[in-house]
Structure 1
Amino acid sequence: MSSGSKTYIVEHLDPELGAWSELEYLAIARESHEAGSNFCLSSLPPAFKVPEALTKIPSFTAETRGVEELYASDKSRVCLLDPAAASDLSPEDGNKFDAFLFGGILGDDPPRDRTSELRKKGFEGRRLGPVQMTTDTAVRVTRMVVEGKTPLKEIPYLDHPELKFNEHESTQMPFRYVKGEDAKPIMPEGMVELIRKDSDKAIDDMF
């Protein structure tokens, strides 16, 4: 992993990878690579099959080891993005931490406190705000703050946007997104098509 760059880590925690999560992880990997950062999936079960598209992104790594083993020598350099943390993420945290850890909680609706397991391991935590984000949004926001030095409150958000597929079909997303230059939520490539195709399913079933 390149020196001086940031590493974004998602503890995957599940034996399989849903279509939704795969698109999110591809977006995280591509955007991290473009920014000169690294993306790691940790705690992967031994039988976990990493999608070929992910393996082709140079700054992506897949790890069966957990983050506490990867950073055993210096836990203080790892920031846990934690809704229950005492303080919000700030641009200054880019100087304090090398790695930013996401526990799989951010894409869940309703949220499951999976981050609590990581909290118990002693990593220092920071909040991203009160509204649930998808995992790729959480990483995107974190990178905007710690690498782009943009305060959380200055990031343009769209909360619970409605996706219109045609004049008869639409669905409201239960998450916060970053607003793109086209005023639409920034979402992974292929995500809108996946949601439209699966709009008769519960959001939970797509992860």
Structure 2
Amino acid sequence: MANQTLLKNPVTIVVEHLDVELGAWSALEYGCIARESHAAGSRFLLSSVPTSLQMPEELAATEGLKVEHRSIEEIFADRKSKICLLDPAAEAELSPADGENFEVFLFGGILGDDPPRDRTSELRKKGYAGRRLGPKQMTTDTAVRVTRMVVHEKVPLEKIQYIDHPEILINEHERTEMPFRYVRGDDDQPIMPPGMIDLIKRDADQGIDDLF
């Protein structure tokens, strides 16, 4: 029944890539967003990708990913009123009803900077309707996952189970705290893209921001 509902009201997820490069962290997130969006019956567009940016082979082959060199303004020039910008500075929070009012949900990549650098401000200037996902900083894939739960599955934002700032065991002597909010999975662990924990462990000596 749930899958039938999703297919009746497909939405488009757009991540406007706000960087001239693509780090390993972002590649894992984008791949995860593509797979989950495809499974939910949604479209996923990675927009404003510089023509000079070569997608990693594994990411380029991911089902559900469509790379666009055009900006969100060009792609949906005739549907501005149907675009919802997920914006930490928005006054209203995302609600299940927004799934009926909007067709495109826009995210600024990279959302997960620590400390936050408000990259979404570049999209805010374009005048899209904004909604927020609560007070905590999320990674891009988490923000998309939460949005899908609210607008597809009709779960109110406050009913979603989260894990804030989880600790990752690097080795028997070292742990690192992730400065983000994650959705709690069925196994009571934070939901992260496949390969993310290995990446964090492998690059434990780098700052989190360096991994994007």
Q: Aligning the two structures, in what range does the TM-score lie when normalised by the shorter sequence?
A: over 0.9
Letter in 2 for 1:170: R
Matched, 1:196 2:204: no
Matched, 1:185 2:190: yes
Match of 1:27 in 2: 32
Match of 2:13 among 5, 8, 19: 8
Quote how far apart the aligned CAs of 1:158 are.
0.4
Provide Cα deviations, 1:120-162, integer angstroms capped at 9, x if missing partner: 1111000001000000000000000000100010000000011
Match of 2:163 in 1: 158
Provide Cα deviations, 1:138-197, integer angstroms capped at 9, x if missing partner: 000000000010001000000001112343121100000001111110000000000001
Match of 1:116 among 121, 126, 129: 121
Name the CA distance, whole Å, in 2 between partners of 1:72 and 1:63. 14
Name the CA distance, whole Å, in 2 between partners of 1:33 and 1:15. 26
For structure 2, the residue ranges without an aligned partner over 5 or more in a row are: 1-6
Q: Which runs of 4+ in 1 moved over 2 A?
A: 51-59
Whether the 8 Å CA contact 1:105–1:111 is kept in 2: the answer is no
Match of 1:44 among 37, 45, 49: 49
Name the CA distance, whole Å, in 2 between partners of 1:48 and 1:62. 11
TM-score between both structures, scaled by the size of structure 2: 0.93
Whether the 8 Å CA contact 2:26–2:110 is kept in 1: the answer is no
Quote how far apart the aligned CAs of 1:57 are.
3.4
Quote how far apart the aligned CAs of 1:52 are.
2.5
SS across alignment from 1:14: coil
Match of 2:3 in 1: none
TM-score between both structures, scaled by the size of structure 1: 0.95
For structure 1, the residue ranges without an aligned partner over 5 or more in a row are: none
Q: CA RMSD in A?
A: 1.4
